[in-house]
Chain A
Amino acid sequence: GAGVSQSPRYKVAKRGQDVALRCDPISGHVSLFWYQQALGQGPEFLTYFQNEAQLDKSGLPSDRFFAERPEGSVSTLKIQRTQQEDSAVYLCASSLGGSRSGYEQYFGPGTRLTVT
């Protein structure tokens, strides 16, 4: 079946521009996560959705970052007034949710954001 998809795969933004990154999770997956992976680093948690509810946004680095999942499926991560330190790969992952799933997360290919 189809995996997690993300678009665009690559995005170049000028400093100060707003960007929107899209994630299409695996159909039926309740849990959705966003991570940020800087070059040479492990991913870092940004935010978590259970269906349409954003239950944890403790990892969002500033109020310039905003995420939504209005219908409990597709999610969008928006970054306003991008800064050079926002340059990273943004990963989306989904999970079936609940003890029946085993909790493993399935990742999309990521969106590589470069802020110039």
Chain B
Amino acid sequence: AQSVAQPEDQVNVAEGNPLTVKCTYSVSGNPYLFWYVQYPNRGLQFLLKYITGDNLVKGSYGFEAEFNKSQTSFHLKKPSALVSDSALYFCAVSPNAGNNRKLIWGLGTSLAVNP
């Protein structure tokens, strides 16, 4: 079965420190990979994606993610965390070809950035 794993329910970091939110996937083929962020009482917001090309992709708000095909991972990173980065982060994978890019989601990781 196709699946996405986010092994940490919660990540705590101090403001100014680097952060990593982990994601691994089990999907056949060459899936597209996404990170979304969900703030309380707000919709899911797109952060970044990997389609093809350079394994390090940059996205919104200073976030970046590294695609590792051999480890089937797509970890989210930021060099210096802000308190305002505290939110729920979801990794999602789109295994299909064509326009039906339905997403398979992880369970989410709650990021808490402490001042």
The chain A residues found within 8 Å of chain B, CB to CB, are 3-4, 30-31, 33, 35, 40-45, 48, 50, 55-56, 59, 91, 93, 95, 97-98, 102-110
The secondary structure that dominates the A interface is: loop
In the complex, chain B residues whose CB is within 8 Å of the CB of A45: 102-104
The chain B residues found within 8 Å of chain A, CB to CB, are 4, 32, 34, 36, 41-46, 49, 51, 90, 92, 94, 99-108
CA distance A33 to B92 in the complex (A): 14
CA distance A110 to B45 in the complex (A): 12
Q: Least Cβ distance of A109 to chain B in Å?
A: 4
Docked-complex contact B108 and A42, CB < 8 angstroms = yes
Contact residue among B34, B99, B104 (Cβ-Cβ distance under 8 Å from A104): B34
The answer to whether A31 and B99 touch (CB under 8 A), given A42-B90, A102-B51, is: yes
Docked-complex contact A109 and B42, CB < 8 angstroms = yes
Docked-complex contact A97 and B46, CB < 8 angstroms = no
